[in-house]
Amino acid sequence: MSVQGKTALVTGGSRGIGSAIAKRLAADGAIVAITYAGNTAAADATVAAIESAGGTAFAFQADAADPASQRAGVEQAAAALGGIDILVHNAGVAEFSSIAEDTDETYDRQFGVNVKGLHVGTRAALPHLRNGGRIILIGSISGEMAFPATTVYSATKAAVAALARGWAKDLAFRNILVNTVQPGPIDTDMNPADSDFAGQVLQAIPLGRYGKVEEIAGAVAFLAGPDASYITGTTLNIDGGATA
Ligand code: NDP
């Protein structure tokens, strides 16, 4: 029970990778709060799964792209949890388009959720984050390598890694450790393993398969736990060898 007695806020915890992270941290002993954009049924299902396994969880609707909503979600979560030890910024969106198809709206939506949401959310969480806490950002290997028609998304994820490096230095004086987990292709609603895109992407994966959400949750659990006490400002690629 590596995070026994700790509290964790996972943004975008209703589905996919975020739901798996919430369940894993709860299984490892943390009390968990999740936020979600609009899928109340999925958020309730994540909470129910945690509770049926004997854990404690809360869910709050909070749009990461809307600063007031994001701040309110963090405040509600911090109140329910009684302070935050582990903050996981997982909420993210991807819109697949080439530079010829990109619009101001697709740019703003992706940077709004994937980058500004982290900046707003971390500032809101700081007064509630205990010294010695952890901030874990879910970036992407797209921040380091190009895939077809994902340039704006890639730019947001390069920014995510930059935020973690900077915050690691800004918050070291409080022993708050900040790292980025960069998944490769993981089978979720965002990136189903049976799509045409998957067919192209698989050629870049030495292990020859999509990853599972639990394989990302395991890395997050490691970075949230005591064995990661000297790791800050780094990126951990979980990608079947894609960036090797
Ligand atoms: P999903 O689309 O399966 O789930 C997205 C989650 O984020 C949902 O819980 C959703 O809530 C929430 N969310 C979306 N927009 C907002 C918003 N504006 N405010 C709050 N919550 C929001 O995505 P994945 O699980 O695949 O992705 C999770 C993270 O992992 C993202 O940051 C993504 O970029 C990253 N990633 C994913 C990869 C993959 O191959 N799947 C690869 C690399 C990185 P709701 O259910 O309410 O819609």
Instruction: With respect to residue 243, please indicate whether it lies within any of the assigned structural domains.
Output: no
Instruction: With respect to residue 83, please indicate whether it lies within any of the assigned structural domains.
Output: yes
Instruction: With respect to residue 148, please indicate whether it lies within any of the assigned structural domains.
Output: yes
Of 190, 195, 213, 235, the residue with max ligand 1 atoms within 8 A of its CB, to mutate for a pocket test, comes to 190
Instruction: With respect to residue 21, please indicate whether it lies within any of the assigned structural domains.
Output: yes
Three-state SS for 219? Answer: helix
Q: What is the CATH number of the domain that holds 38?
A: 3.40.50.720
Instruction: With respect to residue 120, please indicate whether it lies within any of the assigned structural domains.
Output: yes
Confirm or reject: Cβ of 41 under 6 Å from ligand 1: no
Say how many Å lie between the CA of residue 244 and the centre of ligand 1. Answer: 25
Print pLDDT tens along the chain (244 aa). Answer: 689 999 999 999 999 999 999 999 999 999 999 999 999 999 999 999 999 999 999 999 999 999 999 999 999 999 999 999 999 999 999 999 999 999 999 999 999 999 999 999 999 999 999 999 999 999 999 999 988 899 999 999 999 999 999 999 999 999 999 999 999 999 999 999 999 889 989 999 999 999 999 999 999 999 999 999 999 999 999 999 999 9
Of 157, 188, 237, the residue with max ligand 1 atoms within 8 A of its CB, to mutate for a pocket test, comes to 188
Mode of pairing for the β-strands spanning 7-10 and 235-238: unpaired
Structural domains in the chain (count): 1
Instruction: With respect to residue 244, please indicate whether it lies within any of the assigned structural domains.
Output: no
Active-site residue, 153 included: yes
The sign of the torsion formed by the CA atoms of 122, 113, 189, 60 equals positive
Say how many Å lie between the CA of residue 93 and the centre of ligand 1. Answer: 6
Instruction: With respect to residue 202, please indicate whether it lies within any of the assigned structural domains.
Output: yes
Q: In which domain, by residue range, is 213 found?
A: 7-238
Report CA-CA distances (Å) from 105 to 108, 114, 154. 5, 14, 16
Query: pTM for this structure?
Result: 0.99
